[in-house]
Amino acid sequence: MTDLHELDAHDLAATIAAGEASCVEVTRHFLDRVDGETLGAFVTVTPERALERAAAWDAATVRPPFAGVPTAFKDLTPTAGVRTTMGSTLMADHVPDHSAYLVDLVEAAGFVSLGKTNTPEFGLSSYTDNDVVGPARCPADPERNAGGSSGGAAAAVAARLLPLAPGSDGGGSIRIPASCCGIIGLKPSRGRVGAGPDSPTWSGLATDGVLARSVRDVAAMLDVLARPTPGASRVWPAPAVPFAEEARRDPGRLRIATWTDPYLDFVEASPGSVAAVAAARESLVALGHEVVEIPNPWPAELEPQFNVIWSAGMASVPLPPEAHGALRGTTRYWYERGGRATAPELAAALTFLELTTGRVNAELAGYDLFLTPTLALPPQPHAWFTESGDPAEDHRRELLFTPYTALMNMSGQPAMSLPLHEHDGLPVGVMLAAHVGGDALLLQVANQLTR
């Protein structure tokens, strides 16, 4: 019999349904693996809570499809009765009294949470490190960072501590760690996943998504999450056909645009990133698709406008002055930078992003999908981002690392990182994106490439 941790969520659910393992047995198996992990994947582990929920599913006469399948929630996601630190020592003892909408949806589907996965302070970085538990490590090379900000979730899934995990993505925070850890990461279309009544979506940048090892697990979790939030006005309706079914369909022959040059002229794609796209292009052509190389269509002027919105979001957090000294350097950098932005500057930045990304996508209407590297560099050593001690240099290095992913947050397009390549023994992801609303098409081609 295959070890339980080698199974994806679908096969684990089938194993439980067939009576080959109970929900409690599966939960104990994964808790034992988490107990010995050295990757910094978790901030908090909740064995008693997990076993209690597993036992309840074992006793239930009617169970949802994924009853007893383990997962965990990112430590940015409020979870009732469970410590939720946001990766910050300022919130090291914070225990929410109610859960995010995402938690309710995932738990209603039967998944059993083992705890909270690691994230950088307030999710601001493309690498995962904090002063609560330290860095999340790349399973392929623990001396390198797992990426961020869903780095703990990605490390846990890659190391078989979990079959899948939800994450959140405001500038690449699902796709970046998915690439670093060699798994699949999906950021859905803007509005596809409702944020819930406690999570404002004024900037349109961030959304919840999923990290997993199989496309069918990604599609199934998207079905769990793609439910309109009560009272929300900026969401898609639940799909008429489940994404799990759509993902198995043939997409037909598609026209796919590809580029590898970053949109910032001081950034260069590494040989591994270029090679990964070349290999993916060959696979797509072999599948019958037309792949056309084009210049990078995105203007560099987007980057400073994105920074106005990103920093303003951080500056809106009501922190007392005495708390500023407890923030990590890069968090304080964004907090102070956002505090200097004026209301007209923020409005102008939001307008620029909306008009510019809309124009670019109108010009790309003749293409169905877009293929690029996920990252410009492979997973980096933990200290590489912060070794200068200068937060502005930290930011510059993050741009050198990840100049592709945030564009899809600016535009609202669905995008996935796929683990199709390795270079020098390290995973290198490629990013596929579709037009807004094209989540099903994206899953279909991802399924073609990974099966």
What confidence score (pLDDT) does residue 218 get?
98
Q: Where would I find the H helices in 113-183?
A: 151-158, 175-181
Q: 74, 125, 126, 203: which is the annotated catalytic residue?
A: 74
Domain 4-450 has CATH 3.30.1330.20: no
* pLDDT mean over 243-250: 98
* pLDDT mean over 420-436: 97
- pLDDT for residue 72 is more than 80: yes
* pLDDT mean over 158-176: 98
Q: 88, 125, 126, 149: which is the annotated catalytic residue?
A: 149
What confidence score (pLDDT) does residue 441 get?
98
What confidence score (pLDDT) does residue 338 get?
96
Strand order in the sheet with 426-434: 164-169, 207-212, 184-187, 415-423, 426-434, 369-373, 255-258, 290-293
What confidence score (pLDDT) does residue 144 get?
98
Which band of pLDDT confidence, cut at 50, 70 and 90, is reported for residue 1?
Answer: low
**348-362: pLDDT as tens digits:** 999 999 999 999 999
Residue 183 DSSP SS3? coil
* pLDDT mean over 107-115: 98
149 is catalytic: yes
- pLDDT for residue 230 is more than 80: no
**392-411: pLDDT as tens digits:** 999 999 999 999 999 999 99
Q: How far is CA 207 from each of CA 175, 315, 370, rounded to the nearest angstrom? A: 12, 19, 20
What confidence score (pLDDT) does residue 234 get?
76
Write a three-state SS string for 316-377: CCCCCHHHHHHCCHHHHHHHHHHHCCCHHHHHHHHHHHHHHHHHHHHHCCCCCEEEEECCCC
**10-68: pLDDT as tens digits:** 999 999 999 999 999 999 999 999 998 999 999 999 999 999 999 999 999 999 999 99
Q: Where would I find the H helices in 364-433?
A: 391-401, 406-411
* pLDDT mean over 266-285: 98
Q: Residue 8 is which amino acid?
A: D
- Looking at 1-5, 171-175, 266-270, 354-358, which range is the least confident one? 1-5
Run of H or E including 191: none
What confidence score (pLDDT) does residue 322 get?
84
Q: 88, 173, 189, 273: which is the annotated catalytic residue?
A: 173
- pLDDT for residue 197 is more than 80: no
CB neighbourhood size of 100 (10 A) = 25
* pLDDT mean over 99-120: 97
Angle between helices 302-315 and 329-339 (to 10 degrees): 100
- pLDDT for residue 431 is more than 70: yes
What confidence score (pLDDT) does residue 60 get?
98
- pLDDT for residue 199 is more than 80: no
What confidence score (pLDDT) does residue 232 get?
75
- pLDDT for residue 198 is more than 80: no
388 is catalytic: no
Share of the chain above pLDDT 90, in %: 92
User: 421 forms bridges with which residues in the sheet?
Assistant: 428
Contact 192, 236 (CB under 8 A): yes
* pLDDT mean over 216-220: 98
Q: How far is CA 335 from each of CA 309, 354, 413, rounded to the nearest angstrom? A: 11, 24, 27
Would strands 290-293 and 255-258 be described as parallel, antiparallel, or unpaired?
Answer: parallel
The token pair at 118 is 């690691």
Which band of pLDDT confidence, cut at 50, 70 and 90, is reported for residue 377?
Answer: very high
**78-103: pLDDT as tens digits:** 999 999 999 999 999 999 999 999 99
